[in-house]
């Protein structure tokens, strides 16, 4: 049973990572779309990207 629990914990971590990845891609795409359409973008994701660069 310990092995099964460990696998379930890993699976939940993978789900969390995938969810974060999807949210990250979505927010980046939103920022790019706004930039392309000429809107001013001051979303937290965009500011975060500026600090990461």
Q: According to the model, what pLDDT value does residue 47 have?
A: 62
What pLDDT, in 10s, does the model give residues 1-53? 567 788 888 888 888 888 898 888 888 888 888 777 766 655 566 666 666 65
Give me the count of residues in the chain: 53
Whether residue 35 contacts residue 25, with contact meaning beta carbons closer than 8 Å, is answered with no
Record the tokens describing residue 13, joined without a space: 């971590």
Its pTM stands at 0.46
Which residues, in sequence order, are CB contacts of 35 under 8 Å at separation 6+? 41
Q: According to the model, what pLDDT value does residue 46 have?
A: 64
Q: According to the model, what pLDDT value does residue 40 have?
A: 60
Write out 4-30 in H/E/C secondary structure. HHHHHHHHHHHHHHHHHHHHHHHHHHH
Token pair 């965009």 is at which residue?
46
């Amino acid at each position: 049973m310990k092995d099964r629990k460990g696998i379930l914990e890993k699976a939940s971590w993978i789900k969390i990572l995938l969810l974060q990845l999807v949210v990250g891609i979505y927010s980046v795409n939103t920022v790019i779309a706004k930039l392309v359409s000429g809107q001013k973008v001051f979303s937290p994701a965009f500011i975060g990207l500026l600090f990461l660069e």
